[in-house]
């Protein structure tokens, strides 16, 4: 069972990079987490360019697969995750270089595959359970004619 909430979202979608925000929140009023670790499996972690407020180490790759990384707090800065409350939160941003062959926003899926906090697995819903944006939308012809028809009717009424 995961003792914290791990929040992961793509903050900015640049031309050549993704900027991802990671926030870890402790909801336990009785427990601090010192020297915490966050292991993340994500298909684009082999393209990490910069990590801003956490320390990062890539876990030893298996052949050509390098999709797992270890995040942990910077000593004397955010290596202590305090109990729930104003200090019970640490966050960072990660800059990932885009590689269309390994990772895209297909169906809005940008979340990690697995997350472990201090060795405890944080269960994530399967990708199919998240809502996703359609790849395209139909044009509603009725909405295209609403404004011109309204103007025409108002002109007709003002003449009478």
What pLDDT was estimated at residue 103? 67
Closest to 32 (Cα-Cα) out of 12, 7, 4 = 4
What length does the chain have?
Answer: 160
Model confidence at 113, pLDDT cuts 50, 70, 90, reads confident
Model confidence at 50, pLDDT cuts 50, 70, 90, reads very high
Predicted TM-score (pTM) of the model is: 0.73
- Show the tokens assigned to 86: 């104003």
pLDDT at 81 over 70: yes
pLDDT at 133 over 90: no
| Ramachandran area for residue 16 (φ above 0: left; ψ -120 to 50: alpha; else beta) | alpha
What pLDDT was estimated at residue 51? 93
What pLDDT was estimated at residue 44? 82
| Helix, strand, coil share (%) of the chain residues, nearest 5 | 20, 40, 45
Asked whether 137 and 55 are in contact (CB, 8 A), the reply is no
Mean pLDDT value across the chain: 82
Maximum distance among all Cα pairs of the chain, rounded to whole angstroms = 80
């Amino acid at each position: 069972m995961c003792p914290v909430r791990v929040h992961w979202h793509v903050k900015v979608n640049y031309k050549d990079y993704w900027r991802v925000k990671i926030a870890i929140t402790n909801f336990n009023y009785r427990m601090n987490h010192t020297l915490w670790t966050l292991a993340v499996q994500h298909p684009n972690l082999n393209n990490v360019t910069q990590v801003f407020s956490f320390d990062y180490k890539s876990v030893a790759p298996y052949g050509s697969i390098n999709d797992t990384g270890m995040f942990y707090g910077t000593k004397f800065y955010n290596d202590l995750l305090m109990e729930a409350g104003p200090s019970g939160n640490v966050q960072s941003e990660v800059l990932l270089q885009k590689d269309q062959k390994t990772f895209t926003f297909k169906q809005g899926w940008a979340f990690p595959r697995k997350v472990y906090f201090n060795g405890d697995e944080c269960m994530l819903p399967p990708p199919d359970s998240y809502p996703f944006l359609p790849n395209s939308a139909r044009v509603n012809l009725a909405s295209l004619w609403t404004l011109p028809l309204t103007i025409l009717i108002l002109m007709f009424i003002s003449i009478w």
